[in-house]
Amino acid sequence: MKDLSYRTPESYLEAKDYSLQNPESFWAEIAKNFEWYSPWNKVLKYDFLKPEIKWFLGGKLNITENCLDRHLITHPDQTAIIFEPNDPKDKAQYITYKELHSRVCQAANMLKANGAKKGDRICLYMPMVPELAIAVLACARIGAIHSAVFAGFSATALAARINDAECSIVLTADGGYRGNKTTPLKEITDEALAHCTSVKRTIVLQHTGLKVQWNKMDLWWHDEIAKVNDDCAAEIMDSEDPLFILYTSGSTGKPKGMVHTCGGYMVYTAYSFQNVFQYQKGDVYWCTADIGWITGHSYIVYGPLAVGATTLMFEGVPSYPDFGRFWEVCAKHKVNQFYTAPTAIRALQKHPVTLVDKHDLSSLKVLGSVGEPINEEAWHWYDDHVGKNNCPIVDTWWQTETGGILISSLAGVTPQKPTYATLPMPGIQAVLLDNEGNEIESSAEGILAIKYPWPSIARTIWGDHERYKNVYFSAYPGYYFPGDGALRDGDGNYRITGRVDDVVIVSGHNLGTAPIENALNEHQLVVESAVVGFPHDVKGNALHAFVITNAAIDNPDILVAELRELVAKTIGPIAKPDRIQVVSGLPKTRSGKIMRRILRKLAAREYDNLGDVSTLLNPEVIEEIKQNS
Instruction: Name the residue nearer to ligand WTA (CB basis): 114 or 248.
Output: 248
Binding mask 186-225 for ligand WTA (x = CB under 6 A): ----------------------------------------
- C-alpha dihedral (167, 168, 174, 175), degrees to nearest 10: -10
DSSP letter (8 states) at residue 38: B
Binding mask 502-521 for ligand WTA (x = CB under 6 A): ---x----x-----------
Instruction: Name the residue nearer to ligand WTA (CB basis): 323 or 379.
Output: 379
Instruction: Name the residue nearer to ligand WTA (CB basis): 372 or 517.
Output: 372
Task: Provide the minimum distance between the beta carbon of 408 and ligand WTA in the complex, in angstroms, as a whole number.
Answer: 7
Task: Provide the minimum distance between the beta carbon of 269 and ligand WTA in the complex, in angstroms, as a whole number.
Answer: 12
Which residues, 266 to 325, sit near ligand WTA by CB under 6 A? Answer: 293-295
Per CB under 6 A, the list member of 499, 536, 588, 596 interacting with ligand WTA is: 499
Residue 530 near residue 507 (C-beta atoms within 8 A): no
Closest by alpha carbon to 450, among 438, 432, 425, 474?
432
Task: Provide the minimum distance between the beta carbon of 438 and ligand WTA in the complex, in angstroms, as a whole number.
Answer: 22
Number of residues that bind ligand WTA (CB under 6 A): 23
For ligand WTA, which stretch binds (CB under 6 A), given 156-164, 352-360, 432-440, 476-484? 476-484
Task: Provide the minimum distance between the beta carbon of 303 and ligand WTA in the complex, in angstroms, as a whole number.
Answer: 12
Per CB under 6 A, the list member of 84, 190, 290, 484 interacting with ligand WTA is: 484
Which residues, 331 to 370, sit near ligand WTA by CB under 6 A? Answer: 369-370
Q: Kindly report the three-state secondary structure assignment for every residue of 524-576.
A: CCEEEEEEEEEEECCCEEEEEEEEEECCCCCCHHHHHHHHHHHHHHHCCHHHC
Using alpha carbons, list the distances in angstroms from residue 608 to 531, 554, 579.
21, 32, 21
Instruction: Name the residue nearer to ligand WTA (CB basis): 109 or 295.
Output: 295
> Is residue 395 involved in binding ligand WTA (CB under 6 A)?
yes
Instruction: Name the residue nearer to ligand WTA (CB basis): 51 or 508.
Output: 508
Residue 545 near residue 560 (C-beta atoms within 8 A): no
Rounded distance between C-alpha atoms, residue 126 and residue 288, angstroms: 16
Task: Provide the minimum distance between the beta carbon of 505 and ligand WTA in the complex, in angstroms, as a whole number.
Answer: 5
> Is residue 148 involved in binding ligand WTA (CB under 6 A)?
no
Residue 447 near residue 43 (C-beta atoms within 8 A): no
Would the CA dihedral through 284, 288, 291, 293 be positive or negative?
negative
Tell me the one-letter amino acid at 203.
I
Task: Provide the minimum distance between the beta carbon of 597 and ligand WTA in the complex, in angstroms, as a whole number.
Answer: 18
Classify 31 as helix, strand or coil.
Answer: helix
Instruction: Name the residue nearer to ligand WTA (CB basis): 189 or 295.
Output: 295
> What would the DSSP string read from start to end of 49-105?
TTTEEEEEET-EE-HHIIIIIHHHHH-TTSEEEEEE-SSTTSPPEEEEHHHHHHHHH
> Is residue 120 involved in binding ligand WTA (CB under 6 A)?
no
Per CB under 6 A, the list member of 291, 421, 516, 598 interacting with ligand WTA is: 421
Closest by alpha carbon to 145, among 155, 130, 135?
135
Contacts of 181 (CB under 8 A, 6+ apart): none
Instruction: Name the residue nearer to ligand WTA (CB basis): 315 or 484.
Output: 484
Residue 122 near residue 128 (C-beta atoms within 8 A): no
Q: Which residues bind ligand WTA (CB under 6 A)?
A: 248, 293-295, 369-373, 395-400, 421, 482-484, 496, 499, 505, 510
